[in-house]
Amino acid sequence: MPDKAITLYALSTCIHCKKTKEYLDDCGAKYDCIFVDKLEGDERKQIIEAIKKINPKLSFPTLLVDEEAIVGFKQDQIKEALER
């Protein structure tokens, strides 16, 4: 698997976020996972603004693989993005 910049924006209570995280782990992907509901203050505001730029609906999970945003747990789309 090529090295990619992968960031998962998730909620700690979200089942779809959990499935996305498990799938990335199963694929052996190296990624940053940010639980937005656990952030506070300015850090939280900054992350929310960053997510809105790639996903204006601010829904979770929002996965960023290099420059490609994948919203929701879409296993096929995630697999393709990881293999590119």
Look at residue 3 in the predicted model and tell me its pLDDT. Answer: 80
| Angle 32-71-56 from CA coordinates, rounded to 5° | 100
Q: 2: cis peptide before it, omega within 30°?
A: no
**Which domains does the chain carry?**
6-83 (3.40.30.10)
Among candidate residues 5, 6, 4, 13, the one with its CA nearest the CA of residue 60? 13
Contact 7, 34 (CB under 8 A): yes
Mean pLDDT of 13-30: 97
pTM score of the predicted model: 0.94
Rounded mean pLDDT of the chain? 96
Mean pLDDT of 19-29: 97
